[in-house]
Amino acid sequence: MDETNPLLPDTTLERVREIEDARDDVVEFDSSGDAENPLEWAPAYKWTIVGLLAFMAFTVTFTCISVVPIATLSYWSPSGSSARPRGPFLIGPLSELFGRYPVMNAANIGFIGATVLAALCQKAPLFIAARALTGLVVATNVLNPAIVGDMFITEQHGSAMSLVQLAPITGGAIGPLISGAMAETIGWRSVVWLSVGLACICELFLLTCFRETYKVPILRRKAARLRKETGDKALRTAFDLIGEEQGTRKLWVAMTRPVVVFIDSFVLQLISLFGAMTFSYFYVFSTTYPDILMQTYNLTSAQTGLSFIPLTGGSIVGTLVCNSVLDRIYIMLRDANNGVGRPEYRLPVVIVGAFALPLSFTIYGWVPELGLPLWVMLTISGIFGFAMNFAFMPVFTYVVDAFGLYSASAITALIVTRCVAATFFPLAAVSLIKQLGSGFGCSVLGAIGLAFAPIPVLIYFFGPAWRQHSRYTKGGSA
């Protein structure tokens, strides 16, 4: 099912279709061709918007990760966990009420302000508060998938999302690389000011190139224009004729529905738990990797930044391989099932990553413990990045396939669960590694990951039956 109107209240789409079929005074996109319809925009322009979204995702990750290798050069804590995005419950519903354009611009301006505050502050508590505020106004994690859905038909979602997903991976590597070199020469504040500059460039492009992509405000503007041109005051959109989900009630329903969907679906609870655990490994790695390189291998801050390149290379290769095999595996399993596809056919790649990721993380911990050469550490970081993408990226595809109309709410629940885990798990994990050493500490964490690894296996075999018990998931086939 194509989710071109995510985050709408549960009954809205069905009611919209009823109104559109029953009334002649309802304004809709022209089925014979409409330049205002985002799905019919020129491909070159749509891909320009995708490039802008990718650049924004890169900027956000760069800002969050760039302070990690320079934290030891100053009295600032990287406060990475404080900067995790915590705004999906508010940002998504606001974009439904007011459109993507104003919310994206407002969030990015807030992001710029919070980053400027971090660059100017003189005390650590204020710096930590600024970092937390930065996380609150991040909109890309929620709105990027929605905007892609606004502009592209289902068959084109994968290629557009691939570019958007590659961007933060690149930012996660280039951030430490640049920040390490800058911190050693012109100071850590220059790194934060660079983030401000990148965010300002994003805002310039948002103001000049980005157009509203969400169907509801576009149609409302069209209806207002037609009322003025024709004098027909009865012209309305179907969304305007639905009175029961207006104002604060509509916002409340949209904000709470991810929780409702999460509680209602056992499959979503399991896959969110697995996704949260999987993604937490990345933050533990990002927190411990610079310290290991500096303390065990005596690298400088700049050299530590360069050492993130293998991680990025492995992640990029993992992304490309994952995207190339996902559809092939799905088609093969669908054909073997008499042509009936299931969302679970997206999970074989996840199963491979679920076991490979904790094993690679365990090896990562023993490399410095055994005093192995630097090239071994760099190699295992690349393998870790490869396994990370196998274990996590297809999870989003599965959620979209399984939840269809409600996939935006499901993804919001997935993101919130991931953010909570990424806030607290790394704190406990780093403390454990310090107490037990990197070898035994990472072995314990790897064992925990292996305990979660059977989750995608169970969903693969039993997911079709479990999904029947939730009113928000599609049936046994997709």
**Topology of domain 259-471, CATH:** Growth Hormone; Chain: A; (1.20.1250)
Residue 153 has pLDDT above 80, yes or no: no
pLDDT at 9: 42
**Averaged pLDDT for residues 211-234:** 81
Percent of the chain clearing pLDDT 70 (strictly above): 77
Which of residues 170 and 319 earns the better pLDDT score? 319
pLDDT at 206 over 60: yes
Could you confirm whether domain 16-224+231-242 is CATH 1.20.1250.20?
Answer: yes
| Beta-bridge mates of residue 26 | 236
- Rounded to the nearest integer, the mean pLDDT of the chain is 78
**Is 50 exceeded by the pLDDT of residue 377?**
yes
**Average pLDDT, integer, range 454-468:** 92
CA distances, 65 to each of 78, 168, 306, 381, 402 (Å):
8, 10, 14, 16, 32
Share of the chain above pLDDT 90, in %: 22
Which band of pLDDT confidence, cut at 50, 70 and 90, is reported for residue 321? Answer: confident
Position 185 confidence tier, pLDDT thresholds 50, 70, 90:
low
Residue 282 predicted with pLDDT over 80: yes
Question: What pLDDT score does 268 carry?
Answer: 92
Q: Cite the residue boundaries of each domain of the chain with CATH code 1.20.1250.20.
A: 16-224+231-242, 259-471
The pLDDT tens digits for 397-446 are: 788 778 765 666 777 788 888 877 877 787 888 888 889 988 999 999 99
Higher pLDDT residue, 144 or 271? 271
pLDDT band at 59 (very low <50, low <70, confident <90, very high): confident
* pTM value surpassing 0.85: no
In terms of pLDDT, which residue wins out, 86 or 78? 86
Q: What pLDDT, in 10s, does the model give residues 338-347?
A: 888 888 988 9
